[in-house]
Amino acid sequence: MQQMGKGRAEKAGSVHIQHKLGTAKKERQKKQRKKKKKKKKKKKKKKKKKKKKKKKKKK
């Protein structure tokens, strides 16, 4: 992720844009991590239910 940000900043030719991209990406990553943790918990519960259904079909 950091390499992508640096590449964009070099094309723009300014350190200020590089800093803005870096901070914005960090904030987005933090938000995404929080959302992903919540989603993973929900998905695990759904997967368990699906596995039980599959076992019933096999029987």
CB count in 10 Å sphere of residue 57: 6
The pLDDT confidence band at residue 26, using thresholds 50, 70 and 90, is: confident
**Confidence at residue 31, expressed as pLDDT on a 0 to 100 scale:** 73
21-45 mean pLDDT: 68
Q: Decide: pTM greater than 0.75.
A: no
3-26 mean pLDDT: 58
**Confidence at residue 10, expressed as pLDDT on a 0 to 100 scale:** 52
Where is average pLDDT lowest: 1-5, 25-29, 40-44? 1-5
